[in-house]
């Protein structure tokens, strides 16, 4: 779901940097030493999950795990995803440094918002809440991605249909992965969430 370099105009790139950097800086300000290993683990989860990607128009389709990252990391998801995206851009050219702010916002913001509302309900109906918590952040990330591409240029409309179509199975896959992962965490290490 990375947007490639050279696709977005400077206004969108600047706005993405401003918002993502502000939220990441706030998360860094609130960061506790004991959360650093968790952020490193979440960054590596995102890095590896999105490593295998299929190019689709100006973006790509890959596992995000942003629902799991949001459930475990909360606001620190901005740090974890930004770090992983930075290293992917630097080492492998996925996305790019210029669009790092926009890509971070597209993937981290839905995870943080969804889990802000779902976390209190997790113990009442674990399976349903976990599935929604894996499915919905990917759906919202796709919606944000499509909105950014439409705001940027109407010439990219052709790609939006493909992006939505290719990401639909991914939403369900991430929902089911979230169910099994969060059930495991709640059973063996509930204080991790």
* Domain harbouring 91, CATH code: 1.10.1760.20
Element containing residue 76 per DSSP (H, E): none
Classify residue 47: in a domain, yes or no.
yes
Classify residue 5: in a domain, yes or no.
no
What was the pLDDT predicted at 49? 87
What was the pLDDT predicted at 165? 87
**119 near 186, Cβ under 8 Å?**
no
What range defines the domain where residue 105 resides? 10-192
155 three-class SS: helix
CB-based burial, 151-163: b 16+ in 10 Å, e otherwise: ebeeebeebbeeb
What was the pLDDT predicted at 154? 65
Q: What's the domain count of the chain?
A: 1
d(CA 161, CA 74): 31
d(CA 131, CA 80): 22
Q: Which tokens is 166 given?
A: 């290719």
Taken as a whole, the chain contains a residue count of 193
Reference 85, options 73, 100, 70; nearest CA is: 100
Classify residue 40: in a domain, yes or no.
yes
Classify residue 129: in a domain, yes or no.
yes
CB-based burial, 87-116: b 16+ in 10 Å, e otherwise: ebbeeeebbbebbbbbbbbbbbbbbbebbe
Handedness of CA 74, 77, 79, 80 (dihedral sign): positive
What was the pLDDT predicted at 162? 82
Classify residue 92: in a domain, yes or no.
yes
**DSSP label at residue 94:** S
H helices within the chain, ranges in order? 10-30, 36-49, 66-73, 77-92, 100-118, 126-152, 157-188
Distances (CA, A) of 46 to 37, 66, 76, 82: 14, 7, 13, 10
Classify residue 36: in a domain, yes or no.
yes
**146 near 160, Cβ under 8 Å?**
yes
Classify residue 4: in a domain, yes or no.
no
What was the pLDDT predicted at 58? 65
Average pLDDT per block of 10 residues along the chain, 193 residues long:
84 95 94 94 92 72 90 93 94 88 95 91 90 95 92 78 87 94 92 81
Classify residue 2: in a domain, yes or no.
no
């Amino acid at each position: 779901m990375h947007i490639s370099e050279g696709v977005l105009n400077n206004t969108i790139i600047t706005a993405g940097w401003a918002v993502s950097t502000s939220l990441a800086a706030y998360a860094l300000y609130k960061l506790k030493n004991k959360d650093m290993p968790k952020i490193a683990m979440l960054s590596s989860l995102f890095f590896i999950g999105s490593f295998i990607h299929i190019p689709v128009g100006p973006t790509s389709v890959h596992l995000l795990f942003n629902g799991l990252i949001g459930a475990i990391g909360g606001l620190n998801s901005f740090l974890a995803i930004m770090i992983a995206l930075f290293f992917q851009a630097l080492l492998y050219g996925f996305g790019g440094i210029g669009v790092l702010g926009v890509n971070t916002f597209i993937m981290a913001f839905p995870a943080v918002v969804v889990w802000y509302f779902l976390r209190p309900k997790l113990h009442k109906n674990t399976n349903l809440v976990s599935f929604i918590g894996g499915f919905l952040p990917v759906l919202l990330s796709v919606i944000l991605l499509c909105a950014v591409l439409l705001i940027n240029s109407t010439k990219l409309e052709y790609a939006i249909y493909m992006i939505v179509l290719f990401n639909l199975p991914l939403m369900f896959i991430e929902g089911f992965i979230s169910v099994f992962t969060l059930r495991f965490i709640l059973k063996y290490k509930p204080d991790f969430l």
